[in-house]
Chains A and B, each alone.
Chain A
């Protein structure tokens, strides 16, 4: 890829080879499992792929954002099942930059090795896109905070050991009253329940309720009132990574269908000869290429310290749409075979649909882009 430096290209080769060696076998079965395979977690942990944002002094092997994107594309291209966990293990260390030193020292190494698992959450039953309207609240009580509320649609929530979530410490202050908290999920008062989903099943998406959950001060991440910007910053990164994961999966699927259409004979010709088929592949390849470029451009801007909200939003809505369309086209080309569970395509298609929802709906993405382009006069009419 024209975009990568020599170092990044070598890194890509290493991750690519690792993925094909370690994760090909059993990927189709794992896509339908209700949890991310502990063996896969171990392999990723051992390979350093769960500590890509963790500082070296906590055992991390930090790499630049473009390289993290490469990891998502190459790993999830072969096995989509660990995607949510890998994402959490990028976002949590990112957010813990603002946590207390003692918390970092205690948790970052074990999270980095995959010995403990993380998730993150803002969404609640009554607020998804309207991210600032959360109701979960945290009341300061001496050296503790007591939290009450419900978070929902937490990817990796069922398997995680800890969560970083948002809660209101000042209910009158709008988004400036939001604070981030680090919560071990085995504390009294924490309850979890699982979503049964059409796809990304191994993510173990969860609802998490907090009933008078008491945590020491050190579990607050950042200052009171700083939570909203911190978690939004996390999303700008996360949304590009999930799309790259989807692009990897779609690209590999496109390679598989390309081989198929050269061999499948209909009316005495391989179906690759019919433009109805070959042009679909041409269009899909174009869309994936464009999406990939949007993603890596965003990551490069992030690496250079440039503002990238708009680019991340473009990558998210455009890439999600592209991946779903590509997987759908591939399903159609494989016909009834592709529709059956005997092939991995139908589950991948189902996994792809989720990309349009999580980490920001397409509508919100377009609002973000509009805001940057139109500045003062954008936004819904009153």
Chain B
């Protein structure tokens, strides 16, 4: 048993860290309402959108651990860009695994290069945790589908080109009626309504209103009725998203902690650097402990995926716990800076606002704990009407 990265993984860690610290570690990116084209282009050129995509579409094989490393190192510099990468893999890997040849030809190599960007759209105004309750309809008519409905809070919905979007092809059986589609967002009938969130400003989310949007049959991802399975295996609520939410949160938290330590060593009160007060040093020690434990839990989950072993339990643990740990660490870092931490001059208040989104990104805390409970306790732990909703 080894707690270290392979040579390839270490090399990637170095490369991402080098890029991220040089190009992304600046406050100014945090308050933009989009991610600059220039940055996306550079990320694409470095191959950071193309991991695990088949080589014929410009991709390369990597371990799941490497995607984790990519996400963590990016997040240390900028959480919104790490978020973009996480979301983009949800789209590209779903497409690569379940898409038709036509859809892959048209989109996959562009997504792999970052020339086109994707988002994931499941949530609706009345449907969050209960994904089987979505109402957006996809009606088959010869060789097209007509989509109608409203999706809410689609991260990157304002900026991206295409959505991995889930709609109901059948109302007969709750879970089995949901299907995944690739929906280009410039099609007639698509209206984007930008929303401003408390944080993750560059990911400017949007509501998407679909009014008779016509997409070719070739853009259906997987079979009719496979939508929830696809979401669960590589979409928003996948193990991968849960682990990456954890790693991204912890990446940002590590940056916050580093600054807090540097500040605490040079800020004096009562004649000594404030880190000499246990009130401060114990906080830092606790946060360091939890971040360390959280990181390795995330990498264990990814290692399990690399071994083709089940990772549901670990991923759910990462998903509910790591963002919480990160929130606490970032809050502590903000408070260590005293009143200055509260202002926009320092990055901590934005970090706190940003990391909060990851506490609900890949599922609410309640859902994720039920997922853990279901594995640790068994199906007996699930309320009767929920047993169908947990795998």
Using a CB–CB cutoff of 8 Å, the interface residues on chain A facing chain B are: 123, 126-130, 133, 152-153, 195-199, 205, 265-269, 274, 276-277, 328, 331-332, 335-337, 339-342, 346-347, 349-350, 353-354, 356-358, 361-363, 366-367, 380
Contacts and interface: CB of A to CB of B under 8 A. Distances in A.
B4 interface: no
Nearest to B132: A267
Contacts of B128: 266, 335-336
Interface of B: 123, 126, 128-130, 133, 152-153, 195-199, 205, 268-270, 272, 276-280, 327, 331, 334-335, 338-339, 341-345, 349-350, 352-353, 356-357, 359-360, 364-366, 369-370, 383, 385-386, 389
B342 A353 contact: yes
Contacts of A267: 129-130, 383, 385-386, 389
B269 A350 contact: no
B87 to A, nearest CB: 14
A215 B335 CA distance: 36
Contact of B342 (A197, A362, A363): A197
Contacts of B268: 126, 130
A335 B360 contact: yes
Nearest to B272: A380
Contacts of A328: 327, 356
B356 A331 contact: yes
A276 B365 CA distance: 8
B343 A346 contact: no
Nearest to B386: A267
Contacts, number: 127
Nearest to A268: B385
B339 A123 contact: yes
A103 B278 CA distance: 45
A125 to B, nearest CB: 9
Nearest to A273: B383
Contacts of B366: 274, 276-277
A153 B195 CA distance: 32
A361 B152 contact: no
Contacts of A350: 198, 349, 353
Contacts of B359: 332
A130 B270 CA distance: 6
Contacts of B276: 380
B122 to A, nearest CB: 11
B360 A332 contact: yes
Given A267-B385, A274-B366, A339 B198 contact: yes
A353 B331 contact: yes
A358 B353 contact: no
> By CB atoms of chain B within 10 A, which of A198, A337, A366 has the most?
A198
Given A128-B338, A267-B389, A346-B353, 12 more contacts: A198-B350, A335-B128, A335-B360, A335-B364, A337-B153, A339-B197, A339-B198, A339-B357, A341-B198, A353-B352, A361-B338, A380-B278
B269 A196 contact: no
Contact of B345 (A196, A336, A363, A380): A196
B335 A357 contact: yes
B124 to A, nearest CB: 11
Nearest to A152: B339
A60 to B, nearest CB: 31
A196 B364 contact: no
A353 B123 CA distance: 29
Contacts of A366: 279
A269 B385 CA distance: 9
A367 B279 CA distance: 9
Nearest to A266: B130
Contact of B152 (A336, A349, A363): A336
Contact of B269 (A130, A336, A339): A130
A143 to B, nearest CB: 36
